[in-house]
Amino acid sequence: MKVEIISKIFNPWEELQAYEKTLIAQGKYGAVATFVGTMRDYNEGDIVQAMFLEHYPGMTEKYLQTLSETALQRWDILDTLIIHRIGEIKPGETIVLVAAWAGHRAPAFESCRFLIDELKSRAPFWKQETLSEGVRWLDQCH
């Protein structure tokens, strides 16, 4: 199990390859489901030039650790990996990587989906987009 908050550009496929090499369970897993979220150059009809991703140091890591532990308890899976980018991000760059290793495909898919869904709805990250007219936070307290 690994959770990482990273402030520089990362290649999700190289991270997966590197992490998988550390798994002692070679030959023990039969299924890996992954999700990679990438920055689009458009959102809600606007062209987006860049993005700034803020987080809550300490709470974000704690939240993602607990989330990973929950997935490992709830599904018959062997390992999980979450890497999330923070700071300045450009279109085409990876924002998030989530992966789950399992014996079979159903728990791999379900836990991977659970991790990204919960991350998106509860992990303390906030996106600020840079448009040609200025910046905007994607969510505000009304």
Partner 1 sequence: MAITIKFFASLREQVGKSEVQIELSDSLTVGEVWAQVCDNSPLPIHILMAVNKEYSKQDTRVQDGDEVAFFPPVTGG
| Distance, CA of 78 to CA of 86 (rounded, Å) | 27
| Distance, CA of 22 to CA of 92 (rounded, Å) | 28
**CA distances (Å), 16 to each of 48, 53, 55, in order?**
28, 22, 23
- Considering only residues 40, 62, 74, 122, which one is a binding residue for a copy of itself as defined by CB under 8 A? 40
Q: Does 26 bind a copy of itself (CB under 8 A)?
A: yes
Residue 28, binding choice from partner 1, a copy of itself, none, Cβ under 5 to 8 Å by partner class: a copy of itself
Q: Does 134 bind partner 1 (CB under 8 A)?
A: no
| Distance, CA of 91 to CA of 38 (rounded, Å) | 8
Residue 141, binding choice from partner 1, a copy of itself, none, Cβ under 5 to 8 Å by partner class: partner 1
Q: Does 53 bind a copy of itself (CB under 8 A)?
A: no
Please identify which residue in the block is written with the tokens 């009809």: 45
**Binding footprint of a copy of itself on the chain (CB under 8 A):** 11, 13-14, 16-17, 20, 26-42, 91-92, 103, 105, 108-109, 112-113, 116, 120
